[in-house]
């Protein structure tokens, strides 16, 4: 029987990468629970704002993906195209 407290090295995450795992999880929980917060404060007549917020989120994601497709996934090139040579280079 394997020791319950030992974790294989291949299953561990480096301390540097933990930030990139924890941060999206916290953001995801906040985004996925926004409907509950709206209903809690606005009541059950807030269904229009929930639909509009969902449509806005989908529109924003569509814009992000279209920009990434146009830039062929190169973030540096996208920043320089959008913000110019100096500001894009700083980003």
Report, as an integer, the average pLDDT of 56-68. Answer: 88
Report, as an integer, the average pLDDT of 1-28. Answer: 75
Report, as an integer, the average pLDDT of 24-32. Answer: 77
Q: What is the mean pLDDT of the chain?
A: 79
Task: Look at residue 4 in the predicted model and tell me its pLDDT.
Answer: 60
How far apart (Å, rounded) are the C-alpha atoms in residues 91 and 75? 10
Task: Look at residue 58 in the predicted model and tell me its pLDDT.
Answer: 93
How far apart (Å, rounded) are the C-alpha atoms in residues 16 and 21? 10
Higher pLDDT, 58 or 71: 58
């Amino acid at each position: 029987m394997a020791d319950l407290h030992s974790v294989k090295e291949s299953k561990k995450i480096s301390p540097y990468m933990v930030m990139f795992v924890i941060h999206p999880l916290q953001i995801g929980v906040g985004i996925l629970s926004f409907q509950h917060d709206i209903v809690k404060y606005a009541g059950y007549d807030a269904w229009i704002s929930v639909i509009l917020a969902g449509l806005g989120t989908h529109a924003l994601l569509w814009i992000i993906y279209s920009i990434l497709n146009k830039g062929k996934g190169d973030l540096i090139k996208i920043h320089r195209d959008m913000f110019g040579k100096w500001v894009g280079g700083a980003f």
